[in-house]
Amino acid sequence: MTIHTEINFENAICEHLVNHGWLYAVGDASRYDRARALFPDDVIDWLQESQPDAWEAATKSHGANAGEVIVSRLRDSINQRGTLDVLRNGFEMLGQRNKLSMMQVKPALEINPLIMTRYAANQLRIVRQVRYSLHNENSIDLVLFLNGLPIATVELKTDFTQGIQDAIDQFRLDRNPSPKGQNPEPLLSFPFGALVHFAVSNSKVHMTTKLEGAKTAFLPFNLGDNGAAGNPVNPLGHRTAYLWEQVWERTSWLEIIGRYVVAKKNKKKQIESYIFPRYHQLDVTRKLQAAVLAEGPGHPNLKGRDIREAFKEDEYQILLVANKLQTGFDQLMF
pLDDT of 309 above 80 = no
Would you say residue 332 lies in a domain? no
Does 236 lie in the same domain as 285?
no
Residue 142 pLDDT more than 50?
yes
Q: Last residue of a domain, which of 236, 263, 290?
A: 263
Flag the least confident range among 145-159, 283-297, 314-328.
Answer: 314-328
Q: Is residue 287 in some structural domain?
A: yes
Q: How confident is the model at residue 296 (pLDDT cuts 50, 70, 90)?
A: low
SS3 call for 240: coil
In a shared domain, residues 127 and 236: yes
Domain that holds residue 287: 279-326
24 plus 106 within the same structural domain: yes
Kindly state whether residues 237 and 308 are assigned to the same domain: no
Residue 269 lies in a domain: no
> How does strand 219-220 pair with strand 262-265?
unpaired
Q: What's the pLDDT band for 298 if we cut at 50, 70, 90?
A: low
- On whether residue 47 sits in a domain, the answer given is yes
296 and 243 in a common domain: no
293 versus 88: which is more confidently predicted? Answer: 88
Closest CA to 326 of 251, 248, 223: 251
- For the cut 60, the answer to whether the pLDDT of residue 329 exceeds it is no
Cα(215)–Cα(168) distance, integer angstroms: 11
- Whether residues 187 and 215 share a domain: the answer is yes
Q: What is the mean pLDDT of residues 55-80?
A: 97
Whether 10 maps to a domain, the answer reads yes
Number of domains in the chain: 2
Question: At residue 200, does pLDDT exceed 90?
Answer: yes
Whether 35 and 130 map to the same domain: the answer is yes
Q: Please identify, among 211, 237, 263, the residue that sits at the C-terminal boundary of a domain.
A: 263
Last-in-domain residue among 208, 236, 263 = 263
pLDDT higher than threshold 80 for residue 334: no
18 and 91 assigned to the same domain: yes
| Residues contacting residue 283 through CB under 8 Å, at least 6 positions apart | none
Q: Would residue 334 count as lying in a domain?
A: no
Question: What type of residue sits at position 148?
Answer: G
- Let me know whether 146 and 3 are in one domain: yes
Claim to verify: residue 227 and residue 309 sit in the same structural domain:
no
pLDDT-based confidence at residue 304 (cuts at 50, 70, 90): low
Q: Do 96 and 240 belong to one domain?
A: yes
Regarding whether 149 and 49 lie in a shared domain, the answer is: yes
Q: Say if residue 333's pLDDT is above 50.
A: no
Domain assignment of residue 37, yes or no: yes
Tell me: pLDDT of 25 over 80.
yes
- Measured distance CA(149)–CA(47) in Å, rounded: 13
Q: Of 161-170, 296-305, 308-317, which gets the smallest average pLDDT? A: 308-317
Q: Pairing mode, if any, of strands 196-200 and 149-156?
A: parallel
233-289 confidence digits (pLDDT tens): 999 999 999 999 999 999 999 999 999 999 999 999 999 999 999 888 888 888 877
Between 314 and 96, residue with greater pLDDT = 96
SS3 per residue for 67-117: HHHHHHHHHHHHHHHCHHHHHHHCECCCCCCCCECCCCCCCCCCCCHHHHH
The DSSP H or E segment spanning 172 is: helix 164-174
Q: In 3-state terms, what secondary structure has residue 152?
A: strand
Torsion angles phi and psi, residue 220, rounded to 5 = -65, 145
Residue 322 within a domain: yes
pLDDT at residue 295 above 80? no
Average pLDDT of the chain?
Answer: 88
Q: What is the rounded distance in angstroms from the CA atom of residue 109 to the CA atom of residue 176? A: 43
